[in-house]
Amino acid sequence: MEVIKEEIVVLLMAMLPVWELRGTIPFAVEVFHLNLFKAAVISLIGNTLSVILILLYLENVARVLSSRFTSMDRFFKMLFEKTRKKHSQRVELLADLALLTFVAIPLPGTGGWTGALIAVVFNLNKWRSFLSIFFGLIGAAIIISLTYTGSKALMIKIW
């Protein structure tokens, strides 16, 4: 039963914007002693769930907040309308490849959350955006797993 609790913690952590799978893969291996593959798969599932929620519901949440708060209405109008008008043609050309690459590169500020936010703000096709982000997350999981394994091996060799 304890293993299930640890896996749920990893899944939920991977849904959080700062952690995502970049933080949860090493965490799951080091703290919960999950094997690397299992940690990566659970983290990928959690991160993917958050992406789905953002793609499906962010605009609805923005609409509700805008209808109740004047300041939020101004903010979302500026964010959605002005951004879409100013950048829509440039983004449409390479959106799928750009999203995939952006999400796959494990740097601060990149990831599934940011990729999903970009897709919503620029009003990109949700299904295509999801696929691009999902494959980007797979790439990020592979990069993080290889980096973690390599750095762990290097530390063992140094000590």
pLDDT, tens digit, 9 for 90 and up, residues 39-98 = 999 999 999 999 999 999 998 998 898 888 888 888 888 877 777 776 666 666 688 999
Identify whether the C-beta of residue 51 lies closer than 8 Å to the C-beta of residue 118. Answer: no
Check residues 100 and 150 and name the one with the higher pLDDT: 100
Query: What is the widest separation between alpha-carbon atoms in the chain?
Result: 59
pLDDT band (50, 70, 90) for residue 7? very high
**What pLDDT score does 88 carry?**
62
Supply the pLDDT for residue 78: 80
Q: Quickly state the pLDDT bin for 122 (edges 50, 70, 90).
A: confident
pLDDT (0 to 100) of residue 157: 65
> How far does the chain reach from its first CA to its final CA, in angstroms?
36
3-class DSSP state of 111 = coil
Average pLDDT over every residue of 149-159? 73
Phi-psi region of 23 (alpha: psi -120 to 50; beta: other; left: phi over 0): alpha
